[in-house]
Amino acid sequence: MSMLEDGSAIVGEADAVNVAEVASKYDIAVEKATKDDLKALEQPTTKGLKDLKMLYVGNQDDKLSLEELGFDDLTQVTAASVTADPSVLNGVDVIWVGTAFTFSGAQAAGRDAVQAWVDAGGSIVGRSAAANTAANTFGLLQATAIAGNSSGNGIVKVDTPDGSLLKPYQQDASFVYPAVSFTDLGATTKVEQSYGANNPLLAGHWRATNGTNGPEVAASKASVISGEKASGGKAVVFGTSVVFRNHPKGGLSQAARGLFWAASEGARVVAPAPLDATLDVDGLFKADKVTLQDGVKQADIDRVKGLVNEMDDSPVKTALLQRIAEAQRQLDIPPRPCVTPGTAAVFLDTPVGHKFYKEIDWMSCMGLSTGNKVAGGKNYAPKDSLTREAMAAFIYRLEAPAGYVAPPVSPFADVNAGDKFYKEIAWMYEAGLSTGTRQPAGKPVYAPKNSLTREAMAAFIYRLQAKTDPQVKSYVAPASSKLVDMKVGDNFYKEINWMYDAKLTTGYATPNGKEYQPKNSLTREAMAAFIYRLRY
The pLDDT tens digits for 153-198 are 999 999 999 999 999 989 999 999 999 999 999 999 999 999 999 9
For residues 418-455, one letter each, b for 16 or more C-beta atoms within 10 angstroms of the residue's C-beta and e for the rest, the string is eeebbbbbbbbbebebbebeeeeeeebebbbebbbbbb
- Tell me, what DSSP letter sits at residue 107? G
Contacts of 281 (CB under 8 A, 6+ apart): none
Query: Is 448 a residue whose pLDDT tops 50?
Result: yes
Alpha-carbon distances, residue 167 vs 93, 158, 193, 253 (angstroms): 23, 12, 9, 12
pLDDT at 36 over 90: no
Is residue 456 exposed (0-12), middle (13-18) or buried (19+ Cβ within 10 Å)? buried
What is the pLDDT at residue 247? 83
Q: How far apart are CA 164 and CA 174, in angstroms?
A: 16
Q: Are residues 259 and 94 in contact, defined by beta-carbon separation less than 8 angstroms?
A: yes
Mean pLDDT of 58-74: 93
Q: Are 138 and 117 in contact (CB under 8 A)?
A: no
Return the higher-pLDDT residue of 41 and 98: 98
Q: What is the pLDDT of residue 470?
A: 86
Contact status, residue 301 vs residue 342, Cβ threshold 8 Å: no
Question: Helix, strand, or coil here: 144?
Answer: strand
For Cα atoms 422, 428, 431, give the angle at the middle one, nearest 5 degrees: 135
Half-sphere exposure of 309 (CA within 13 A, CB side): 8
Domains, the chain, ordered by start: 51-262 (3.40.50.880), 272-336 (no CATH), 388-535 (no CATH)
pLDDT score recorded for residue 369? 85
How are beta strands 123-127 and 94-97 bridged, if at all?
Answer: parallel
The top-scoring range by mean pLDDT among 191-200, 317-326, 363-372, 466-475 is 191-200
Question: pTM for the whole thing?
Answer: 0.54
pLDDT per residue over 299-320, tens digit each?
344 443 333 333 334 444 444 4
CA distances from 391 to 72, 115, 386, 452 (A): 27, 27, 7, 8
The DSSP 8-state label assigned to residue 310 in this structure reads: T
Percent of the residues in the chain that have a pLDDT greater than 70, as a whole number: 88
- Look at residues 370, 367, 327, 361 and name the one whose alpha carbon lies nearest to residue 342: 361
- Residue 326's pLDDT is what? 41
Work out the angle at residue 78's Cα, subtended by the Cα atoms of residues 72 and 84, and round it to the nearest 5 degrees.
105
Average the pLDDT over 407-416 and give the result.
Answer: 94
Pairing of strands 222-228, 190-195: antiparallel
Question: For the ranges 292-301, 311-320, 336-345, 449-458, which has the lowest average pLDDT?
Answer: 292-301
Euclidean distance between CA atoms 189 and 185, whole angstroms: 6
Number of helical (H) and strand (E) elements in the chain, helices listed first: 18, 19
pLDDT in tens, 185-194: 999 999 999 9
Mean pLDDT score across all residues of the chain: 85
pLDDT greater than 90 at residue 63: yes
Q: What is the mean pLDDT of residues 285-292?
A: 39
Q: How far apart are CA 370 and CA 524, in angstroms?
A: 13
Task: Write the DSSP assignment of 197-235 as a string of letters.
Answer: SS--EEEEE---SSSSSSHHHHTTSEEEEEEE-TTS-EE
The pLDDT-based confidence of 422 (bands split at 50, 70, 90) is very high
CB proximity list for 102: less than 8 A, separation 6 or greater: 79, 133, 134, 137
The shares of helix, strand and coil residues in the chain, as percent rounded to the nearest 5, are 35, 15, 50
Provide the β-strand partners of residue 183.
144
Query: Is the confidence at residue 286, as pLDDT, over 50?
Result: no
Q: Note the pLDDT of residue 381.
A: 93
- Is residue 284 within 8 Å of residue 321, measured between CB atoms? no
Instruction: Give the pLDDT of residue 337.
Output: 65
pLDDT-derived band of residue 25, with 50, 70 and 90 as boundaries?
A: confident
- The confidence band for 333, taking pLDDT boundaries of 50, 70 and 90, is very low
Provide, rounded to the nearest whole percent, the portion of the chain with pLDDT above 90: 61
pLDDT of residue 440 exceeding 90: yes
Asked whether residue 464 carries a pLDDT value surpassing 70, the answer given is: yes
Helix residue ranges, H only, 69-218: 79-84, 108-119, 128-137, 215-218
Q: Indicate whether 134 pLDDT > 80.
A: yes
